[in-house]
Amino acid sequence: IEVDAKYIKGMLAAPDLQPNAVINRWIAEILTYPHKLIHVPATKHKGPDALSRR
């Protein structure tokens, strides 16, 4: 999964540090799937970002 937000990797690495129960459930669900996060700087991630802002 390519993301332009570095903080997501930290959230998934330390899910117990999140103060919000909704976010904790979201993280728990994501961790049930095999995945690998790759940080792509926003300057190189323009195509997907443009699609999400329509």
pLDDT digits (tens, 9 = 90+) for 6-50: 778 888 777 777 678 888 888 888 889 998 888 888 777 666 655
Question: Of 30, 36, 35, 41, which Cα lies nearest the Cα of 6?
Answer: 41
Give the per-residue pLDDT at 36. 87
To the nearest 10°, report the CA torsion of 12, 13, 14, 16. 50
Give the per-residue pLDDT at 48. 60
18 burial level (CB within 10 Å; 0-12, 13-18, 19+): middle
pTM attached to this predicted model: 0.54
- CA 45/CA 48 separation, integer angstroms: 6
